[in-house]
Amino acid sequence: MQRFFSIFCAFVLLAFLVGCGNGNVSLRGTVTFADTGEPLTQGTVSFLHSDGRQSRGTIQPDGTYVVGTETATDGLPPGTYRVVITGADKGIPPEGDTGGSYTWVPQIDRRYEDPATSELSVTVDATTRTFDIQVDRFTGAGGGR
């Protein structure tokens, strides 16, 4: 009986160390503006792999995100990813408008929306846990597309 218990405990420990999940790496981070350190309060951070895999995280009001592939927070498979940020526009009501119509104003440089121009990338492995991102503000002249 003692031997059975020892083998059982070793099996449980091994399962814990190896993991019984999908092999994804839990990844989280914060998106902030490079000039002030203030958080970007909305948008989506997408992780695009060259083989077509895609994982994403929704940016929270405090600038944080958690990456998900199958579910909202299940992480992403190990690999190298191009990173894009979308939906980071802020709705501003026109002066005096109470009807709820908004003008959408980009908050970050538009280059972050395109995998070819974002310049953001990350290699994720078993030791990667965080990926904090600093972004430039949209300037509308020269600084954005």
Domain boundaries, the chain: 24-135
The tens digit of pLDDT for each residue in 84-102 reads: 999 888 877 777 766 667 7
CATH 2.60.40.10 fits 24-135, yes or no: yes
pTM: 0.76
Q: In the structure, what pLDDT confidence band is assigned to residue 21 with cuts at 50, 70 and 90? A: low
**Which has the closest alpha carbon to 87: 110, 53, 70, 118?**
110
